[in-house]
């Protein structure tokens, strides 16, 4: 037994040698996860937010034809007046989807609508607003135009044969439109990652239930639900599981049988009823880490059957921070999507923050853009890992890396915007 008693934590607290860094925990998780390979074909609209399992190659030119970018008159560039006003003969009309089939000759023009195919012989369009219609067959055009103006060329957006999207791309609204412009009704994507989660703790009650002395409402399942909902995964909410070995075992079995990822909160700190760890040890290969971070020191990661298991801390802020730092990138990797690093920005910190090098800290902050365009950030109020309102108040995490010491007001810090 150790004869050393830890002092209460403060800015100068020492760090233990068995703690692992945020970076090495992330590395370990990243290396343990292989992307899902199950491919499904879905109607185009259902693919929004999903990860492409095929590359997308344009079968056609987009646009398909050289066409007018304006409502106006199509004509030969050589007919554009240099230093006077010219009158041209209107010989026909070209509408989007209803081409003019004749030929445009010198001294002639064709009334043309946006998107209509450029008539043979015409290479320029003059906007309607820059002309004067004399009668049904004659229009006056002034100076200042150039040959080729107001024309969109076949394939200028995307050329036939161009590989526009690669496997691993997460499909955006713009991508849906681009793919629709090729005429594809269905595409191949990876199936969604299935995530089961539950809370553990005898003190927890679900919303809508009555509280007895010492009981609290389960909020972690709601923050987890919210964060998972933003990630295009399938969500299986398994409720609250009591601190009872049989209940925990049954929940682990059920969750790992139906999900790719199992997330729990609570019950991984020291002094917890000690069957959660033995149950996990017996059922899978699990690491219990003390991570050199604040909030969120204890984290469990490993394999439970075929599922990846994340045992998050119980404290509500720690749940959110560990989810964002560890689970979110893991879900991204599992989904087959290209790895997207969280955006980190520089901001001037307007508060003093006490910290000692050796661990990563995630303080809740509110950043704003100053008149000169630079960013400034302030701490929200109290920073305890049970103060969930600090996450509601915050619009960013202030990330203080391992090697960093305290921050003085006016120093630059890194921030990670939330959402
Ligand atoms: P634990 O890690 O289980 O000891 O939990 C640490 C703290 O977080 C305790 O104060 C718990 O009551 C609280 N906690 C655990 N799970 C939840 C939950 N699902 N919702 C709200 N608070 C929780
Ligand atoms: Mg507990």
Give the tens place of pLDDT for each residue, 129-169.
999 999 999 999 999 999 999 999 999 999 999 999 999 99
303: containing domain:
22-37+192-335
**Widest CA span in the chain:** 103
User: Could you say which of 296, 313, 335 is where a domain stops?
Assistant: 335
State the pLDDT at residue 296.
86
377 inside domain: yes
8 inside domain: no
Q: Which residues of the chain have pLDDT under 70?
A: 1-17, 270-275
Same domain, 55 and 166: yes
Atom of ligand 1 nearest to the CA of 271: 4
State the pLDDT at residue 280.
86
Distance CA 153, CA 168 (A): 30
User: 266 CA distance to ligand 1 centroid (A)?
Assistant: 5
Backbone angles phi, psi at 392, to 5 degrees: -70, -40
Measured at the CA of 25, the angle between CA 14 and CA 322, to 5 degrees, comes to 85
From 227, 239, 314, the mutation candidate for ligand 1 (largest count of ligand atoms within 8 A of CB) is 314
State the pLDDT at residue 271.
63
4 inside domain: no
Same domain, 282 and 166: no
Half-sphere exposure of 228 (CA within 13 A, CB side): 23
Atom of ligand 1 nearest to the CA of 269: 2
Distance CA 155, CA 78 (A): 25
User: 278 CA distance to ligand 2 centroid (A)?
Assistant: 15
State the pLDDT at residue 4.
57
Q: What is the CATH number of the domain that holds 185?
A: 3.90.105.10
Q: Which of 102, 97, 101, 135 is nearest to 113 (CA)?
A: 97
Whether the CB of 218 sits within 6 Å of ligand 1: yes
Determine contact, residues 349/282, Cβ cutoff 8 Å.
Answer: no
Distance CA 149, CA 80 (A): 11
State the pLDDT at residue 345.
98
pTM: 0.90
Same domain, 227 and 299: yes
């Amino acid at each position: 037994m150790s004869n050393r008693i830890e002092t209460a934590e403060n800015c100068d607290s020492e760090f233990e040698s068995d703690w692992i860094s945020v970076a090495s925990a992330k590395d370990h998780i990243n290396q343990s996860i292989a992307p899902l390979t199950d491919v499904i074909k879905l109607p185009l609209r259902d693919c929004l937010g999903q990860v492409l399992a095929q590359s997308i190659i344009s079968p056609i030119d987009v646009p398909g034809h050289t066409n007018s970018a304006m409502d106006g008159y199509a004509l030969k560039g050589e007919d554009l007046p240099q230093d006077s006003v010219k009158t041209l003969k209107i010989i026909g009309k070209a509408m989007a989807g209803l081409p003019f089939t004749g030929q445009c000759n010198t001294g002639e023009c064709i009334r043309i609508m946006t998107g209509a195919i450029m008539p043979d012989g015409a290479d320029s369009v003059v906007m309607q607003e820059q002309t004067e219609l004399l009668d049904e067959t004659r229009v006056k055009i002034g100076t200042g135009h150039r040959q080729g103006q107001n024309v969109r060329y076949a394939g200028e957006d995307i050329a036939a044969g161009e590989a526009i999207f690669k496997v691993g791309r997460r499909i955006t609204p713009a991508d849906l439109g681009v793919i629709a412009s090729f005429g594809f009704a269905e595409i191949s994507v990876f199936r969604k990652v299935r995530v089961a989660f539950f809370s553990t703790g005898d003190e927890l009650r679900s919303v809508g239930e009555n509280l007895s002395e010492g009981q609290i409402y389960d909020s972690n399942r709601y923050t987890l639900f919210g964060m998972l909902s933003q990630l295009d995964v399938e969500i299986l909410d398994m409720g609250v599981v009591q601190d009872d070995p049989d209940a925990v075992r049954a929940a682990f079995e059920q969750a790992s049988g139906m999900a790719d990822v199992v997330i729990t909160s609570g019950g991984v700190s020291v002094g917890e009823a000690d069957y959660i760890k033995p149950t996990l040890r017996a059922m899978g290969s699990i690491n219990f880490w003390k991570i050199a971070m604040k909030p969120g020191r204890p984290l469990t990661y490993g394999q439970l059957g075929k599922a990846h298991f994340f045992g998050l801390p119980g404290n509500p802020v720690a749940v959110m921070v560990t989810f964002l730092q560890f689970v979110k990138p893991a879900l991204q990797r599992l989904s087959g999507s290209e790895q997207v690093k969280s955006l980190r920005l520089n901001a001037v910190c307007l508060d003093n923050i006490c910290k000692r090098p050796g661990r990563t800290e995630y303080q809740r902050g509110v950043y704003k853009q100053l008149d000169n365009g630079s960013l400034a950030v302030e701490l929200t109020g109290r920073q305890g890992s049970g103060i969930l309102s600090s996450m509601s108040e915050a619009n960013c995490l202030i990330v203080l890396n391992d090697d960093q010491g305290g921050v003085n007001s006016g120093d630059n810090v890194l921030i990670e915007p939330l959402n």
